[in-house]
Amino acid sequence: MAQIVKRSYRYRFHPSPEQACELARTFGCVRLVYNKALEERTRAYMLEGRRVSYVESSAALTAWKRSGDVDFLSEVSSVPLQQALRHLQTAFSNFFAKRARYPTFKSRKRSRASAEYTRSAFRFRDGRLTLAKMDAPLNIVWSRPLPEGAEPSTVTVSRDAAGRWFVSLLVEETTTPLTPVERSVGVDAGITALATLSTGEKIVNPKHGRADRRKLAKAQRALARREKGSNNRAKARLRVARVYARIADRRRDHLHKVTTRLVRENQVIAVEDLTVRNMVKNRSLARAVSDTSWREMRSMLEYKAAWYGRTLVVVDRWFPSSKLCSACGALQDRMPLTVREWECACGVVHDRDVNAAKNILAAGLAER
């Protein structure tokens, strides 16, 4: 049965000097409003034990615009500033519900620069997008078409550390479930192989971080030699950011291809609930674990399965998938990471990862 989902389409664009200046000012004002509101909320929470609502923060924003210190906030569109307060409200709601940590301040250097515009702050006609406070539409590279008749409800403009400009259009789209299939698969995430399937197939891990490690190290050494605050240091930082962006883009592209294939070919996909945050604390495995992006792969599987009528089952992280014989069910006492192949007392010889994937599939089907 077809369903309507909200989906974001992301495109590169190339702003004119005037548009780049206006957006840079907007980014700065968004960051300032977020940080000032966070400071006020923190003060009220720490000193008075009081929670500040979005309405109070919005009233404070109006007062800030009228003050002499930050009256320049009135020079940019008010919508991105209000959206920053809404995002802060969401961050505090997640914190008080124990779904996230306490909100942190946005850094000018480390935070991704972005601004969100709702329907009243942009015009979209005939494939041309014009933001508030701008006279000309953005020069967008339409790398893929929007769904026919789609009207963006929210537009998010961002600039990454590599200096690239992006615009994300949030639209409502009708998705049709894929034709049901009989196949199910268990997926064991790994380092040597990105994913091992219960069918015995091992999906190779391209290790994009390792492939560009030499180039990244060279760029980082050049950055370390530059004088702080100099133009040459800014250029060196940009070169480092471009290497990181290349790694991230290639990794994301590969994950999209892998997850799309798994969703198309299988009705049920069983995966393991991995605690990536704890695993990267292991200094010996941190780089390799980060290069696999297991969390991003699971996130892709989650929303693609929901879109196309597939079922994703997450198996408990404490399930002994590696130590359990998939043939007879015998549980081994120990299974060090160095053991890649082992023989059960029943006589079956197991590949560690394939056996784990088979057990994950069996546990996933049992939980349905």
The predicted structure's pLDDT at residue 284: 62
pLDDT in tens, the chain (368 residues): 778 889 999 999 999 999 999 999 999 999 999 999 999 999 998 888 889 999 999 999 999 998 878 889 999 999 999 999 999 999 999 999 999 999 999 988 776 899 999 999 999 998 899 999 999 999 999 999 998 888 999 999 999 999 999 999 999 998 889 999 999 999 998 877 888 999 999 998 887 777 788 899 999 999 999 999 899 999 999 999 999 999 889 999 999 999 999 999 999 999 988 776 666 566 666 666 676 788 889 999 999 999 999 999 999 888 888 888 988 988 888 888 888 888 898 989 999 899 999 999 999 998 87
Residue 20 confidence (pLDDT): 96
355: its two tokens: 């056996």
pLDDT at 30 (0 to 100): 96
Domain boundaries, the chain: 3-175, 184-367
* Residue 129 bridge partners (DSSP): 124
Quick one: pLDDT at residue 68? 77
The catalytically annotated residue of 18, 272, 291, 351 is 272
- Choose the catalytic residue: 22, 116, 291, 353: 353
- Give all strands (DSSP E) within 279-325, no chain letters: 311-315
Integer Cα distance of 29 and 76 in angstroms: 8
CB 130 within 8 A of CB 122: yes
Which of 364, 362, 357, 19 minimizes the C-alpha distance to 193?
357
pLDDT recorded at residue 111: 65
CA 22/CA 285 separation, integer angstroms: 43
Whether 188 sits among the annotated catalytic residues: the reply is: yes
The answer to whether 316 is a known catalytic residue is no
For residue 336, what pLDDT is reported? 85
pTM of the predicted structure, to 2 decimals: 0.86
3-state helix, strand, coil in the chain (%, to 5): 45, 20, 35
Per the annotation, the verdict on 272 as an active-site residue is yes
Catalytic residue among 188, 212, 265, 343: 188
pLDDT reported for residue 209: 74
Specify the pLDDT at position 239: 94
Cα–Cα dist 285/225, whole Å: 29
Predicted pLDDT of residue 148: 87
- Measure the CA–CA gap between 184 and 198, rounded to whole angstroms: 9
